[in-house]
Amino acid sequence: MICGKEGMSDMRKQYLLDEGWYFDKITEGIDEFSGYLENRGVEINLPHTWNTETDNYRGLCLYQKTLKLEENHQKDRMFLEFLGANSVCQVYLNDKYIGEHRGGYSTFRFDITEVYDWEKENILRVYVDNSQTNDVSPLNGDFTIYGGLYRSVNLICVPESHFDLMFYGSAGVTIQSEVDENANGVLNVDCHIVNGDNLLLDLKVVDAEGVVVNKTEALAKKQKHRLIIEKCELWNGKANPYLYHLTATLRSENKIYDQVELTFGFRKCQLNSDTGFLLNNESVKINGVAKHQDFSDVGNAITSEHIKKDFELIHEIGANALRLSHYQHAQEVYDLCDQFGYITWAEIPMMAMPNNDGVIDNAKEQLKELIYQNCHHPSICFWGIQNEIAMGGESLSMYKGVHELNDLFHSIMPHGISASANMYYVQNASPLNFITDMLGYNLYYGWYYEDIEKLDEWMNHFHKENPEVCLGISEYGADSNLAFHSDQPKVKDYTEEFQSLYHEKTYAIIESKPYLWGSFVWNMFDFGSDIRNEGGTKGKNCKGLVTFDREIKKDAFYFYKAKWSDNPFIHICEKRFVNRCDEQITIKVYSNLKNASLYVNGVQVDSSEGETIYSFVNVPLTMGENEVVVRGNSKGNEYIDKAIFVRKDTKDESYVFVDPNPGINVENWFTQEKGELDYFPEGYYSIKDKMGHLMENKEAWKVLEEKAPQVVERSLPGSAVTLMWVFDKMRNRFTEEEILEINSQLTKIPKKTD
């Protein structure tokens, strides 16, 4: 028997189906067996994913359970609701095919009314497949594509007359709000109703204090409604995340049939290419962090507790904005963004756009689901339609596809702000920079390429060439492994110290540009990436300011906390860099206090006034253990942090990252026995050539088709990235020997000369 909980009204019932599933991996394809095999697989509860940090299986799996409802629902319509199933989901009830959903991150439903058998237990089989497809985005990405029923499954029972549960996974009621020239709130309500021709519709709006501010009665057959809230209170980010509440009731004179409740807010969002982002006509610099939804040990099968933990840390760091990367997140996440006032960038998982109509068609469906399920959220100010799609090169079909998505977005949300995130290789004059309303660049100067200081030059040059473009930085960051440390940090040493230095320098440049709408740090948390084996860490992207398990805040976390948070604190950096061999060291402190005093072994050695970064140089250490204390004062309160540093005779070599596969890193090729010309002879192809150039030569491309088909299948004509860069990104897929062999074969192929 299903144990239930009441849904959104006395008439609508919603039953949680998270318990009592049987799970099994499938290798033979979708079964045609009849009946329920209780001994097939293992018993599990939802949320569930079959992927772990060591199990990267991408394929077909089966979830099954039995259903039996109380007989008082025999006159109702019944819908299975999936809040997230990654990536392709097919549903059978009593061996009858119910339907398929292609997309791993949105809510979707199936009507099972005609198939449900009231005379017996019903057998539900759900097939979920996270295999690579040719049409379901994301086609690729630097994050794990977890499979599973990783969010809850519900059974919803409603009368024959109801708000349409099949309208793109929405509540059947959608809201878009505006603020008119008289500071009145304008609420555009679309009600999608099934069997409502002879019924009435009540719309009631209450404010945050519970006062009714609008009450409208209409015929249910009227779909669109425009409500006015005079002199509305504005949702104003963290300063005042003010929310209203809409109740839509479908009824006759004597009976309520269905009811939907939505929370919303009024705000005005604008972009200016010279001054950045404006919220309610006031300039707001976006100090944002990006986040994925996964969590150590549970993957994407997170619970409310995981989500709340993330928001606690985001609140602590003081960010005012979130980029919810790179797909639709759980509804609870958007609700919390509304409640806490985070300016939010939501997006679909469009990570690659080959010349394939199926990819665009599927992206359009995912975009509709994202919008219709979430357009009532005032926190969502930006709607992302593509991220780094030019990684494999650009094409006319790509521009056409982005235009189609952008046009679709504006046809649904005429007052919304579309957004895109381009990568370093997209040139200033590229059409990709002029399609969406808002443009972000994912830039990693000083980590993947060139020096950090080049970022300043790049931004000034771009703004000069494209003064009308509303520009910001949608990603920037550097990996760190908390096992590695150095008092002379450098790029790709994966030390916590270099990550901090990277953020200090990069954010100073970003902060100096008034024309930027702002930035999003990549990333708030370490996250799963099964293609990675980098910096002594396998299966994770370690650019997070907080570890994957959310247990350790890296030093860079406290740098941003010092910049953004008003809650007084003081923090000694490099605490994990315990063992030292120098008589004197530099001690760095992050704080939002205006003063800091340093004590070593109970003796004050220095004090300073300043902000954000305090650097105490030539701090003496005695042999053995040294206690370091830093103190700061604000408004009569003292704030303290402590650390232990141990001076030893010799350097602790365990702090140094030793690359087990140095041949893949271009900067290390030239230090081996052979020189650059031996590896990359002039006039011949090599892995240093751009993918687009290799593709143009049949002989060179044949080498890759034979030796690296997984690279070939991701490539697009005209790609500006080098094969070396691709191998570096996919370094756990290829050994050094395999790459050397591919390079050896390429260097036998001469380039044509004019």
Q: How far from the centroid of its chain's Cα atoms is residue 474's Cα?
A: 11
User: 363 in helix, strand or coil?
Assistant: helix
Neighbours of 409 (CB within 10 A): 25
Using CA atoms, how far apart are residues 127 and 21, in angstroms rounded to an integer? 12
pLDDT at 662 over 90: no
Considering the domain architecture, whether residues 669 and 735 belong to the same structural domain is answered as: yes
User: For the segment 476-507, what is each residue's pLDDT rounded down to a tens digit?
Assistant: 999 999 999 999 999 999 999 999 999 999 99
Residue 272 lies in a domain: no
What is the token pair recorded at 160? 């024959």
**Catalytic position from the list 388, 394, 496, 574:** 388
Using CA atoms, how far apart are residues 355 and 367, in angstroms rounded to an integer? 19
Report whether 279 contacts 237 (CB < 8 A). Answer: yes
Using CA atoms, how far apart are residues 517 and 287, in angstroms rounded to an integer? 9
User: 310 in helix, strand or coil?
Assistant: helix
Side-chain-side CA neighbours of 538 within 13 Å: the count stands at 11
Q: Average of pLDDT values for 73-83?
A: 96
Using CA atoms, how far apart are residues 81 and 112, in angstroms rounded to an integer? 10
Q: Would you say how long the chain is, in residues?
A: 754
> Could you tell me which of 347, 21, 323 has the C-alpha nearest to residue 152?
21
pLDDT at 370 over 70: yes
What is the token pair recorded at 22? 């049987």
Q: Average of pLDDT values for 633-651?
A: 96
Residue 295 lies in a domain: yes
Residue 168 lies in a domain: no
Strands (E), 412-548: 418-423, 438-442, 471-475, 518-521, 527-534, 537-541
pLDDT at 680 over 80: no
Looking at the structure of the chain, the number of domains it has is 5
- Indicate the residue among 90, 124, 159 that finishes a domain: 159
Question: Which pTM value belongs to this model?
Answer: 0.89
Share of the chain above pLDDT 90, in %: 82
User: For the segment 266-287, what is each residue's pLDDT rounded down to a tens digit?
Assistant: 999 999 999 999 999 999 999 9
Considering the domain architecture, whether residues 211 and 98 belong to the same structural domain is answered as: no
What is the token pair recorded at 212? 């009714």
What are the CA-CA distances from residue 318 to residues 325, 380, 517, 654 (Å)? 19, 18, 17, 34
Residue 667: pLDDT band by 50, 70, 90 thresholds?
A: very low
- Indicate the residue among 564, 587, 609 that finishes a domain: 564
pLDDT at 117: 96
Report whether 508 contacts 611 (CB < 8 A). Answer: no
Report whether 475 contacts 522 (CB < 8 A). Answer: yes
pLDDT at 661 over 70: no
H or E, element range at 361: helix 357-374
Considering the domain architecture, whether residues 100 and 190 belong to the same structural domain is answered as: no
pLDDT at 607: 96
Using CA atoms, how far apart are residues 508 and 128, in angstroms rounded to an integer? 46
Residues of the domain holding 482:
282-564
Q: Average of pLDDT values for 543-572?
A: 98
> Could you tell me which of 548, 509, 625 has the C-alpha nearest to residue 313?
548
Strands (E), 535-636: 537-541, 570-572, 579-580, 584-591, 595-600, 603-609, 612-620, 624-634
Considering the domain architecture, whether residues 421 and 531 belong to the same structural domain is answered as: yes
pLDDT at 1: 35
Which segment of 161-165, 214-218, 427-431, 676-680 scores lowest on mean pLDDT? 676-680
Using CA atoms, how far apart are residues 722 and 743, in angstroms rounded to an integer? 12
Considering the domain architecture, whether residues 651 and 667 belong to the same structural domain is answered as: no
Considering the domain architecture, whether residues 559 and 440 belong to the same structural domain is answered as: yes
Using CA atoms, how far apart are residues 736 and 729, in angstroms rounded to an integer? 13
Residue 227 lies in a domain: yes
Residue 270 lies in a domain: no
Share of the chain above pLDDT 70, in %: 94
Report the CATH number at residue 583: 2.60.40.10
Q: Facing residues of 646 across strands? A: 579, 625
Long-range contacts, 353-360 (Cβ 8 Å, 24+): 353/386, 353/389, 353/397, 353/398, 353/401, 353/402, 354/139, 354/392, 354/716, 355/395, 355/397, 355/398, 356/134, 356/135, 358/134, 358/135, 359/134, 359/135, 359/137, 359/139, 359/401, 360/401, 360/404, 360/405
What is the token pair recorded at 697? 């030569």
Considering the domain architecture, whether residues 292 and 198 belong to the same structural domain is answered as: no
Mean pLDDT of the chain: 92
pLDDT at 478: 98
Using CA atoms, how far apart are residues 526 and 462, in angstroms rounded to an integer? 30
Residue 352 lies in a domain: yes
81 as an active site residue: the answer is no
| Single-letter residue type at 540 | K
Using CA atoms, how far apart are residues 259 and 336, in angstroms rounded to an integer? 23
Report the CATH number at residue 33: 2.60.120.260
pLDDT at 41 over 90: no
Residue 727 lies in a domain: yes
User: For the segment 304-353, what is each residue's pLDDT rounded down to a tens digit?
Assistant: 999 999 999 999 999 999 999 999 999 999 999 999 999 999 999 999 99
CA-atom Rg of the chain in angstroms: 28
Using CA atoms, how far apart are residues 513 and 348, in angstroms rounded to an integer? 28
Residue 2: pLDDT band by 50, 70, 90 thresholds?
A: very low
> Could you tell me which of 145, 143, 84 has the C-alpha nearest to residue 330?
84
Residue carrying the six token digits 């339907």: 99
pLDDT at 155 over 90: yes
Considering the domain architecture, whether residues 224 and 85 belong to the same structural domain is answered as: no
Residue 123 lies in a domain: yes
Residue 719: pLDDT band by 50, 70, 90 thresholds?
A: confident
pLDDT at 102 over 60: yes
Considering the domain architecture, whether residues 38 and 130 belong to the same structural domain is answered as: yes
Considering the domain architecture, whether residues 313 and 359 belong to the same structural domain is answered as: yes
Using CA atoms, how far apart are residues 58 and 487, in angstroms rounded to an integer? 42
Report the CATH number at residue 291: 3.20.20.80
Considering the domain architecture, whether residues 369 and 435 belong to the same structural domain is answered as: yes
| Single-letter residue type at 700 | A
Considering the domain architecture, whether residues 484 and 628 belong to the same structural domain is answered as: no
pLDDT at 717 over 90: no
- Indicate the residue among 216, 235, 264 that finishes a domain: 264
